[in-house]
């Protein structure tokens, strides 16, 4: 069931989302060759907790024996999403995708950004650009009266016409009192189908785009999702609210 948010609830989500945006900016400033993903995770957690907020991903999961152990998801090159921070040292020419969630006063914000580590290839620059552009093309469709798959189709169309592919096993989602709520927001679909969009909806729209095929695998850690063909992937995400019929980005 989709829960439409009041203006007060949207303000709470905006508060959490603002911290998400600040974390991504802060972490991005520290992304460079020689840094470990664990160092980035520590920076992010300290910053979030300084606002009396909680890292939403830490301890998340349905398998109590394998809850997510960190604040950030840090995914490098062929890692699509849910990479676990550790002693891995970032290297020149890699892509690092950073996903972060924040809970404050009972409400969640969620966002992701992909960063070039030093100087990257032209193909990786294009992958980053097209993925980011597809996010905003999806957001443009998040208007009262449209349907969820209008968002999905806008993402898919832009990605595929540029020779890349959208991951089909993972989707965006509603967000609010829970990190993941209805409706699901795929990055592919037929326009004019899916749940009808209404003022008061809050959505995490998140294209995950592969430079090769869309198929993915889950690694033995139970979390890290990688491209089957080993080619690079990028991930961008904003939490948005539909306010007075139009999309407003909360993770700015």
Instruction: Summarize pLDDT for 164-188 with one digit per residue, the tens.
Output: 999 999 999 999 999 999 999 999 9
Residue pair 175/108 in contact (Cβ under 8 Å)? The answer is: yes
pLDDT tens string 69-128? 999 999 999 999 999 999 999 999 999 999 999 999 999 999 999 999 999 999 999 999
Torsional class of 99: left (φ above 0), alpha (ψ -120 to 50), beta (otherwise): beta
Give pLDDT, residue 252.
92
Tokens of 199: 């003022």
Give pLDDT, residue 176.
98
pLDDT tens string 183-210? 999 999 999 999 999 999 999 999 999 9
Report the distance separating Cα 227 and Cα 211, nearest Å: 9
CA 203 to chain centre: 11
Give the relative orientation of helices 37-49 and 7-30 as an angle to the nearest 10 degrees. Answer: 140
78 found inside a domain: yes
Looking up tokens 């992937």, which residue turns up?
A: 233
232 found inside a domain: yes
1 found inside a domain: no
Domain boundaries, position 205: 7-249
CA 72 to chain centre: 11
180 found inside a domain: yes
pLDDT band at 3 (very low <50, low <70, confident <90, very high): very high
Phi, psi of 175 (to 5 degrees): -150, 145
As a whole number, the mean pLDDT across the chain is 98
Residue pair 210/164 in contact (Cβ under 8 Å)? The answer is: yes
Instruction: Return the half-sphere exposure (C-beta side, CA atoms, 13 A cut-off) of residue 186.
Output: 18
Report the distance separating Cα 241 and Cα 198, nearest Å: 10
Q: What angle do CA 174, 167, 72 make, to 5 degrees?
A: 60
212 found inside a domain: yes
200 found inside a domain: yes
Give pLDDT, residue 45.
98
Give pLDDT, residue 89.
98
pLDDT band at 4 (very low <50, low <70, confident <90, very high): very high
Task: Give the torsion sign (CA, 85, 91, 97, 98).
Answer: positive
Give pLDDT, residue 225.
98
Phi, psi of 206 (to 5 degrees): -150, 85
Give pLDDT, residue 150.
98
How does DSSP assign 103-114, residue by residue? EETTEEEEEEEE
DSSP conformational letter for 14: H
2 found inside a domain: no
158 found inside a domain: yes
CATH number assigned to the domain comprising residue 34: 3.90.230.10
The pTM (predicted TM-score) of the whole model is 0.97
pLDDT tens string 210-238? 999 999 999 999 999 999 999 999 999 99
Q: What is the mean pLDDT of the segment spanning 38-53?
A: 98
Domain count, the chain: 1
């Amino acid at each position: 069931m989709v829960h439409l948010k009041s203006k007060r609830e949207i303000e709470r989500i905006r508060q959490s989302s603002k911290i998400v945006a600040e974390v991504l900016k802060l972490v991005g400033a520290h992304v460079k060759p020689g840094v470990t993903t664990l160092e980035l995770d520590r920076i992010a957690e300290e910053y979030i907790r300084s606002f009396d907020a909680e890292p939403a991903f830490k301890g998340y999961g349905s398998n109590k024996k394998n809850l997510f152990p960190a604040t950030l998801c840090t995914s490098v090159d062929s890692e699509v999403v849910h990479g676990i921070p550790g002693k891995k040292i970032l290297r020149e020419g890699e892509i690092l995708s950073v996903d972060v969630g924040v809970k404050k006063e009972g409400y969640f914000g969620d966002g992701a950004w992909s960063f070039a580590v030093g100087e990257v290839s032209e193909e990786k620059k294009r992958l980053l650009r097209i993925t980011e552009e597809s996010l905003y093309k999806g957001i443009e469709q998040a208007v009262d009266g449209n349907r969820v798959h209008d968002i999905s189709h806008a993402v898919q169309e832009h990605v595929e016409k540029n020779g890349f592919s959208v991951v089909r096993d993972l989707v965006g989602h509603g967000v609010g009192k829970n990190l993941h709520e209805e409706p699901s927001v795929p990055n592919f679909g037929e326009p004019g189908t899916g749940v009808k969009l209404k003022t008061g909806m809050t959505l995490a729209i998140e294209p995950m785009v592969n430079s090769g095929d869309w198929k993915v695998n889950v690694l033995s850690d139970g979390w890290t999702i990688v491209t089957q063909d080993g080619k690079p992937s990028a991930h961008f995400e904003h939490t948005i609210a539909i306010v007075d019929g139009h999309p407003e980005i909360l993770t700015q």
